[in-house]
Structure 1
């Protein structure tokens, strides 16, 4: 993929990390959907958020480039609800 942006996405539900590649113009929501599909998560993508450097990325129409995501960036996809501590 020419001009691609390689990223590493950890899906917290499955504790799996996937190397994925997107165009910098890809919306954050598309990255989230692709990561959840790769992890075989069946819940709606609206129940998840994407975090980068500890902050939630605004999905709307924002792209990966507009969100400041760089090559080989580690991203996390996790449930929008709180995870109970034990």
Structure 2
């Protein structure tokens, strides 16, 4: 923990999918990007279950936590938009 901070933030975020296939595709899509992201102030661990992707976030400060959440949200929006395109074609 940074000596200037009085707290750390730990959070779990779960994305639930309708099918295990969609979960697998999403996991495999995010994995290359996930392996690139490195930060000393925040870490994200990703675990795949049958219908869910579970993200465990550990952050040293609120700004780093927000950046981690934004990254997961951006990933979710890409999945959502891609599925809408596939559904409408």
Q: Work out which structure has the larger RCO, using CA pairs closer than 8 Å and 6 or more positions apart in sequence.
A: 1
Which has the larger strand fraction? 1
- Report the TM-score, using the length of structure 2 for normalisation: 0.26
Larger helix proportion of the pair? 2
